[in-house]
Homo-oligomer: A and B are copies of this chain.
Amino acid sequence: MSEQIKPTASELEILNILWSKGEGTVREVHQVLEQNREVGYTTTLKLMQIMLDKQLLTRDDSTSRHVYSANVNQEKIQGQMVKGMIDTMFNGSAKQLVMQALGSHKADKKEIEEIKQYLEQIEKRSRKS
């Protein structure tokens, strides 16, 4: 099994921003963070430096405003987090997590249709194999 990567809550926020943007400077990331909660600029900077150190990020420091990018795969981390949640809170049942997510969080009609289609794909695939 490959190394388990366990980003902290703050690190996940930053990863998420960089996954969306593709890349960004500390300033840019910081401005997004600030929309949610109060946080000092050097705090964001330090966090990103730590993440660089842990190899969660890479950076281009060829110019004086360093540009950072995520260095871990979004789907992989998401999968790990979801699995952790299923294991520790939903007794290993993906179904329970899905129902909780759909029950408490309103998805619109279009999304529900898409999920249904996705489920049918999965069924078809498993019939074939």
| Chain A interface residues toward B at CB < 8 A | 9, 12-13, 16, 20, 75, 77-79, 81-83, 85-86, 88-91, 93-95, 97-107, 109, 111-112, 114-116, 118-119, 122-123, 126
Contacts and interface: CB of A to CB of B under 8 A. Distances in A.
A13 B119 CA distance: 30
How many copies, total? 2
Contact of A109 (B9, B20, B109, B126): B126
Contacts of A103: 79
Contacts of A122: 102, 107, 112
Nearest to A99: B118
Given A78-B89, A88-B13, A101-B86, A95 B119 contact: no
Contacts of A85: 81-82, 85
26 contacts: A12-B88, A16-B88, A78-B89, A78-B90, A78-B100, A79-B104, A81-B85, A81-B89, A82-B85, A82-B97, A82-B100, A82-B104, A82-B105, A83-B104, A83-B105, A86-B101, A94-B106, A94-B111, A95-B107, A98-B98, A98-B101, A102-B119, A109-B123, A112-B122, A112-B123, A115-B119
